[in-house]
């Protein structure tokens, strides 16, 4: 079983900011901002291998006119995200925000009241700009104790219900229990695992997308 110290240390790795625009549809004015932590920042991988880069590819291939901006930062907590989000919203003016934060709060056993308040504030900030929000749920290992892990897991559906947000119940649902799809740290998907992560997000994201741009023949 993974130890708490190992999880906390791995969750705090990678303090550099990853901010890259992906896709060739910037001129459309449609932008998706992915705002998360190492689970969305392609931690341990080349940026083009991550699920966010694969999302940009899928949108392009399927004819959606979106630019995808990945403002995810490895090691980020909800508190750090709250500090960064206003600038990201001003800079990129997204129509959609994919909010994927909280894992590092849980791995550090931070107060869940702070996690909830930070996520609520970020949802409000995004909505104030007119952006729609897709909330990403995450889970932490059971060795944090049943009370904390259960309360942590409930934060995401409770917020989604309260604010009528679309919710991906668990980002790593297709990969977390398959060692062949996870990196050696047991926390992050490997390159093979990133496509299943996108497949987990896609059914919840697709209904939020504007109609495809049609190319005249």
Q: What is the dihedral of CA 74, 78, 79, 81, to 10 degrees?
A: 60
In whole angstroms, how far apart are CA 87 and each of 71, 105, 111, 126, 179? 11, 22, 25, 11, 37
Q: What is the dihedral of CA 65, 206, 80, 181, to 10 degrees?
A: -110
Judged on CB neighbours under 10 Å (0-12, 13-18, 19+), 83 is exposed
Strands of the 67-70 sheet, one edge to the other: 20-22, 67-70, 31-36, 96-100, 132-136, 167-168
185 is catalytic: yes
Angle at 77 between CA 82 and CA 150, to 5 degrees: 115
188 is catalytic: yes
Catalytic entry in 37, 38, 92, 105? 38
Catalytic entry in 72, 78, 92, 188? 188
* Encoded tokens for 7: 């999880």
Handedness of CA 216, 30, 24, 181 (dihedral sign): negative
* Encoded tokens for 59: 């949108």
Write the DSSP symbol of residue 41: T
Angle at 162 between CA 156 and CA 37, to 5 degrees: 30
Q: Which residues are catalytic?
A: 38, 185, 188
């Amino acid at each position: 079983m993974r130890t708490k110290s190992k999880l906390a240390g791995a969750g705090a790795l990678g303090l550099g900011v990853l901010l890259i625009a992906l896709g060739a549809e910037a001129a459309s004015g449609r932008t998706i901002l992915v705002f998360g932590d190492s689970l969305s920042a392609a931690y341990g991988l080349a940026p083009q291998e991550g699920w966010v880069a694969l999302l940009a590819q899928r949108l392009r291939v399927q004819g959606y006119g979106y630019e995808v901006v990945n403002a995810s930062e490895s090691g980020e907590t909800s508190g750090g995200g709250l500090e960064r989000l206003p600038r990201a919203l001003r800079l990129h003016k997204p129509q959609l925000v994919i909010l994927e934060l909280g894992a590092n709060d849980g791995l550090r056993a931070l107060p869940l009241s702070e996690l909830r308040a930070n996520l609520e504030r970020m949802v409000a900030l995004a909505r104030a700009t007119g952006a729609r929000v897709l909330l990403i749920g995450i889970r932490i290992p059971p060795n944090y104790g049943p009370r904390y892990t259960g309360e942590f897991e409930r934060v995401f559906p409770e917020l989604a219900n309260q604010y009528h947000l679309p919710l991906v119940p668990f980002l790593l649902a297709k990969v977390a229990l398959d060692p062949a799809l996870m990196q050696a740290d047991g926390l992050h998907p490997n390159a093979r695992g990133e496509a299943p992560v996108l497949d987990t997000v896609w059914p919840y994201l697709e209904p939020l997308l504007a109609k495809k741009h049609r190319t005249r023949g």
